[in-house]
Amino acid sequence: MAIANGGIVPAGIINQRLNCDFQTIKINLRDANQQPKFDEPKLLSPIDFDFRDKKILLVDDRIKTGSTIKLAKELMKEAALIKTFAVNGNADYALFNEMCFRFPWIISV
């Protein structure tokens, strides 16, 4: 499951390899320039699929404070299992855990 918007590209790549269901959850904390937009992450649209009793891989591009991934996990606490993946950050699975860098799919406005 991709955390939109940043997690869509890495989740799409993982989906191609695993050939599993692909869903998104729209949670936002920061604006396009990575500045805080809200005091805490917000669910921007309702979750419109059944995740109860399913194994979920939450995918985001970056986990900086952990607040977005924490909210997603709380919202889906009825899932059988939740694991996290980040391209950069502290997650169950991560490619990097270092200072923030700009991803090519992030467009500044």
- Taking residue 27's Cβ as centre, other Cβ atoms within 10 Å add up to 24
Structure tokens at 85: 């993946």
Instruction: Please say whether the structural domain 2-96 has been given the CATH code 3.40.50.2020.
Output: yes
Query: What span, in angstroms and rounded, lies between the C-alpha atoms of 32 and 80?
Result: 33
**Interval 28-41 mean pLDDT:** 84
Query: What span, in angstroms and rounded, lies between the C-alpha atoms of 106 and 93?
Result: 21
Domain extents in the chain: 2-96
Label residue 30 by pLDDT band (50, 70, 90).
Answer: confident
pTM of the model: 0.86
Structure tokens at 28: 């936002």
What does the mean pLDDT of the chain come to? 90
**Interval 40-63 mean pLDDT:** 95
pLDDT of 34 over the 60 cut: yes
Query: What span, in angstroms and rounded, lies between the C-alpha atoms of 6 and 106?
Result: 7
The DSSP call for residue 109 is -
pLDDT tens, 78-100? 999 999 999 998 899 988 887 76
Helix (H, G, I), strand (E, B) or coil at 107: coil
